[in-house]
């Protein structure tokens, strides 16, 4: 069954064609270069970019897949959470295609699409239950997944998402936007001799919730009081590398520790990880190291399926459709859509 997926929840405009878990095409273009000078995504700019590029991306995705709209059996679209104006573009296109070409329509929750995105890659065994860890710019959450689409929320961030903390720390250090890739690269230049003890927030012994606002503030104060020492001078490249390294280690340790705790509390030894922060090589290393001691294995999506993409939306939409999910032309953009 061929599914056409559409994703426009934030700054990526993406259309994909999938057949089950096989990705025939996954076209992605991003307005990220337009947001850089503002240090974060500007919703109006993101929406306008989607309007401008969605048709081109749609045509390219169909062409790359070697299929035509006639061959498509289902239209799947992200309907939340995300920026309302951005979501509306993808939903409008999906509804138009569904109506004009008489194809069924299914709305997909963006967080769930990240959660199950590891299944687009080969080698993920059907070993349910899994603990699922979603780490993106907007979300940080742990789930117990008993099957695809059968998940229970175990815990989530009480303030900032982990990707958001990467973005804010990069902003404090004047490293630009988005923060994740530049912090990972800068951290590699640290000698690791000067590990700054930034706080790791665990919110209680058995808590599976997260908090990343404290560490972000700790970095802010460190830069203001210790690094600048009141002079306002630019900090050295070596110190910036140490700050990135120490922040990254602390933030990622909490993710790994909590995911392992969730496994122990729920008697499983398999984790699926998804979302933009799942690209991070140090996170992958840490799960690998932790796995050697605990026997717990973490499965990651290929890097191209970590950031926002329509392949994960198409593929999950098909699974939902087969379970009986249906949407219609009343499908609404839901900026705060929760996982059910």
276 binds ligand KG4 (CB under 6 A): yes
CA angle centred on 322, ends 319 and 325, rounded to 5°: 90
- Which of 7, 27, 184, 318 touches ligand KG4 (CB under 6 A)? 184
The interface with Zn ion within residues 296-335 (CB under 5 A) comprises: 308
- Which of 149, 180, 301, 317 touches ligand KG4 (CB under 6 A)? 180
The stretch near ligand KG4 (CB under 6 A) out of 194-202, 205-213, 275-283, 312-320 is: 275-283
179 binds ligand KG4 (CB under 6 A): yes
The stretch near ligand KG4 (CB under 6 A) out of 177-185, 197-205, 212-220, 265-273 is: 177-185
Contact between 19 and 322 under an 8 Å Cβ cutoff? The reply is no
- Which of 307, 311, 313, 337 touches ligand KG4 (CB under 6 A)? 307
- Which of 5, 132, 178, 301 touches ligand KG4 (CB under 6 A)? 178
159-163 long-range Cβ contacts below 8 angstroms, 24+ apart: 159/211, 159/212, 159/213, 160/211, 160/212, 160/213, 160/216, 161/135, 161/136, 161/137, 161/212, 162/135, 162/210, 162/212, 162/251, 162/255, 162/277, 163/135, 163/136, 163/137, 163/138, 163/275, 163/276, 163/277
- Choose among ligand KG4, Zn ion, none what residue 319 binds, the Cβ cut-off being 5 to 8 Å by kind: none
Residues 6+ apart with CB under 8 A from 286: 252, 253, 256
Q: CA-CA distances (angstroms) from residue 123 to 21, 215, 285?
A: 12, 35, 18
Nearer to ligand KG4 by Cβ, of 171 and 297: the residue is 171
Other beta carbons within 10 Å of 329: 11
Nearer to ligand KG4 by Cβ, of 9 and 268: the residue is 9
Q: How far is the CB of 230 from Zn ion (least distance, A)?
A: 39
Query: Binding marks (x or -) toward ligand KG4, 234..273, rule CB under 6 A?
Result: ----------------------------------------
Contact between 130 and 115 under an 8 Å Cβ cutoff? The reply is no
Contact between 3 and 318 under an 8 Å Cβ cutoff? The reply is yes
Binding site for ligand KG4 (CB under 6 A): 10, 114, 136-138, 163-164, 166-167, 178-181, 184, 275-277, 279-280, 307-308
Q: Which residues bind Zn ion (CB under 5 A)?
A: 136, 308
């Amino acid at each position: 069954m061929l599914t056409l997926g559409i994703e426009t929840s934030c700054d990526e405009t993406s259309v994909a064609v999938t057949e089950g878990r096989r990705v025939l095409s996954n076209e992605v273009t991003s307005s990220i270069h337009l947001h850089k000078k503002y240090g974060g995504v500007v919703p109006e700019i993101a929406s306008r970019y989607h309007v401008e590029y969605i048709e081109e991306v749609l045509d390219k995705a169909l062409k790359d897949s070697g299929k035509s709209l006639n061959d498509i059996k289902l239209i799947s679209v992200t309907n939340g959470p995300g920026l309302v104006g951005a979501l509306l573009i993808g939903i409008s296109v999906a509804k138009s295609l569904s109506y004009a070409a008489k194809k069924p329509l299914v709305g997909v929750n963006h967080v769930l699409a990240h959660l199950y995105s590891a299944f687009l890659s080969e080698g993920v065994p059907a070993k349910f239950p899994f603990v699922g860890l979603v780490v993106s710019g907007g979300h940080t959450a742990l789930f117990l997944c008993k099957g695809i689409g059968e998940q229970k929320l175990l815990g989530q961030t009480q303030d900032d998402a982990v990707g958001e903390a990467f973005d804010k720390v990069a902003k404090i250090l004047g490293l630009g936007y988005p923060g994740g890739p530049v912090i990972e690269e800068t951290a590699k230049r640290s000698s690791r001799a000067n590990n700054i003890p930034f706080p790791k927030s665990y919110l209680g012994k058995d808590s599976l919730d997260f908090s990343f606002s404290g560490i972000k503030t700790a970095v802010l104060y460190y830069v203001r009081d210790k690094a600048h020492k009141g002079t306002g001078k630019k900090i050295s490249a070596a110190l910036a590398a140490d700050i990135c390294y120490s922040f990254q280690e602390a933030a990622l340790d909490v993710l790994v520790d909590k995911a392992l705790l969730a496994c122990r509390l729920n008697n499983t030894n398999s984790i699926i990880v998804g979302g933009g922060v799942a690209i991070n090589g140090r996170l992958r290393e840490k799960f690998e190291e932790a796995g050697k001691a605990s026997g717990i294995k973490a499965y990651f999506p290929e890097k191209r399926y970590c950031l926002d993409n329509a392949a994960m939306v198409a593929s999950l939409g098909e699974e939902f459709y087969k379970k009986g999910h249906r949407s219609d032309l009343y499908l609404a953009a839901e900026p705060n859509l929760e996982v059910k």
